[in-house]
């Protein structure tokens, strides 16, 4: 382990950079402001889903082989294609990419150009994205390496100043079910989904440095993940605390971006506000470029070349541009419903793939995924007026149980399918070589 310390440290920092999305910074302050004196359980809930599950996803994916196909393929091939496509769409043109553009617009409008038109902003933003995706250059990689340290420096200044001179007194906001709601808010980072797609980058990085032994690869991933976890926890936890100190200031009507701008302006003045805004806007741009390229590559590979990457990129960009003008909060509301379906299924797959030698039957995966999916899809349609009395009662009286209602059927159906499904033959079981990279 000692001889690979530098490699693990660099990989840990790379993991941190990979999941340290500028667009994710808008969530902790608002969450802390709403939680008020309950900011500790809010912090725990948010960090478990936005950091803990993400790192477990990296580990599970490493054990399974590094790709989303190796994770979801334990159910079956068709499911893997459908689930993989939904994940790519979520972290791509449907949710994540439009949010980067919307965040950039609201940051710029709230700081330097108050009269900026969202359509004009979207056209310029995605024009730049298209240029760099269709004309790959090292400029974006260099910019990305420069922006992360700049963002960290500014954020460190904000968090330290926020602790030394709190913005206000933390008050009791009367929030209920804080842990569970914060856990679900962590879904909005979408990093657990991204981890299922991007872990292969981490594995290839270790292998290029000569770390190829299975046990050594897994242990190196664990240590690198812990480094990333510490960094992400400090950033998210610090911003959440700052939000809590604003719980008594009467700013509950501010949207997420405006609250972050207000906190930065109050703590660091115009310099901090503009520095953070510019860094976040540029970081959102580099994120959108990377994700757009990923979407193009994914569908070209999935279609075996029938769908050309550049045409997918054009369609993805146009769709992202249209959604981006809806605004951050509208995109977040859309994401809430979609992610409430995808995340429980992803968490089940992550958990099962962490123990490949215990969960060796396809039927176990099918049952557990089915059990997680059914209540999640019912909850999704309840957003549109579907009345399901039992869940409505649970939602009103037991909000924490409501947030985790998918866990119980996932366990029950996982067990039922394992023991009562048609007995699998030896060829039906996973090939042991599939369980590791």
Residues 270-287 pLDDT 10s = 888 888 888 888 889 988
Domains, the chain: 2-354 (1.20.1740.10), 355-437 (no CATH)
HEC secondary structure over the chain: CHHHHHHHHHHHHHHHHHHCCHHHHHHHHHHHHHHECCHHHHHHHHHHHHHHHHHHHHHHHHHHCCCHHHHHCCCCHHHHHHHHHHHHHHHHHHCHHHHHHHHHHHHHHHHCCCCCCHHHHHHHHHHHHHHHHHCCCHHHHHHHHHHHHHHHHHHHHHHHHHHHCCCCCCCECCCCCHHHHHHHHHHHHCHHHHHHHHHHHHHHHHHHCCCCCHHHHHHHHHHHHHHHHHHHHHHHHHHHHHHHCCCCCCCCCCCHHHHHHHHHHHHHHHHHHHHHHHHHHHHHHHHHHHHHHHHHHHHHHHCCCCCCHHHHHHHHHHHHHHHHCCCHHHHHHHHHHHHHHHHHHHHHHHHHHHCCCCCCCHHHHHHHHHHHHHHHHHHHHHCCCCCCHHHHHHHHHCHHHHHCCCHHHHHHHHHHHHHHCCCCCHHHCCCHHHHCC
Model pTM above 0.85: yes
Residue 192 has what pLDDT? 94
pLDDT in tens, 67-98: 899 999 999 999 999 999 999 999 999 999 99
Extract the residue ranges of the chain whose pLDDT is less than 70: 1-4, 137-144, 422-437
């Amino acid at each position: 382990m000692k001889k690979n310390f530098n490699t693990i440290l660099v990989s840990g920092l790379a993991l941190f950079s990979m999941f340290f999305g500028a667009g994710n910074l808008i969530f902790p302050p608002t969450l802390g402001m709403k939680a008020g004196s309950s900011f500790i359980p809010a912090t725990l809930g948010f960090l478990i889903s936005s950091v803990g599950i993400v790192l477990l996803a990296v580990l599970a994916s490493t054990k399974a082989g590094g790709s989303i196909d190796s994770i979801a393929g334990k159910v079956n091939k068709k499911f893997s294609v459908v689930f993989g496509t939904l994940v790519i769409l979520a972290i791509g043109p449907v949710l994540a990419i439009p949010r980067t553009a919307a965040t950039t617009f609201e940051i710029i409008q709230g700081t330097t150009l108050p009269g900026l038109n969202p359509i004009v902003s979207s056209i310029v933003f995605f024009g730049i994205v298209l240029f760099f995706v269709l004309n790959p250059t090292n400029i974006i990689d260099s910019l990305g390496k420069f922006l992360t340290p700049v963002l960290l420096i500014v954020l460190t200044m904000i968090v330290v100043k926020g602790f030394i001179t709190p913005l206000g007194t933390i008050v009791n906001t009367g929030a209920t079910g804080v842990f569970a709601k914060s856990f679900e808010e962590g879904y909005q980072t979408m990093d657990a989904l991204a981890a299922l797609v991007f872990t292969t980058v981490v594995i290839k990085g270790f292998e290029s440095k000569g770390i190829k032994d299975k046990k050594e690869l897994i242990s190196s991933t664990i240590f690198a993940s812990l480094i990333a976890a510490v960094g992400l926890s400090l950033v998210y936890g610090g911003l959440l605390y700052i939000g809590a100190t604003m719980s008594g200031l009467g700013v509950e009507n501010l949207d997420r971006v405006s609250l972050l701008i207000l906190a930065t302006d109050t703590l660091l003045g115009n310099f901090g506000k503009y520095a953070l805004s510019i860094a976040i806007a540029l970081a959102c741009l580099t994120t959108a470029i990377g994700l757009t390229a990923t979407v193009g590559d994914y569908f070209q590979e999935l279609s075996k070349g029938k769908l050309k990457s550049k045409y997918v990129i054009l369609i993805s960009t146009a769709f992202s541009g249209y959604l981006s003008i809806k605004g951050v909060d509208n995109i977040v509301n859309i994401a809430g419903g979609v992610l409430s379906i995808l995340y429980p299924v992803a968490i089940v797959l992550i958990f099962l793939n962490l123990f490949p030698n215990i969960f060796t039957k396809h039927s176990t995966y099918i049952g557990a995924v089915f059990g997680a999916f059914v209540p999640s899809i019912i909850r999704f349609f309840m957003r549109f007026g579907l009345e399901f009395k039992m869940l409505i009662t649970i939602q009103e009286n037991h909000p924490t149980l409501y947030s985790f209602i998918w866990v119980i059927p996932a366990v029950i159906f996982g067990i039922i399918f394992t023991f009562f499904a048609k007995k699998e033959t030896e060829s039906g079981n996973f090939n042991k070589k599939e369980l590791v990279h």
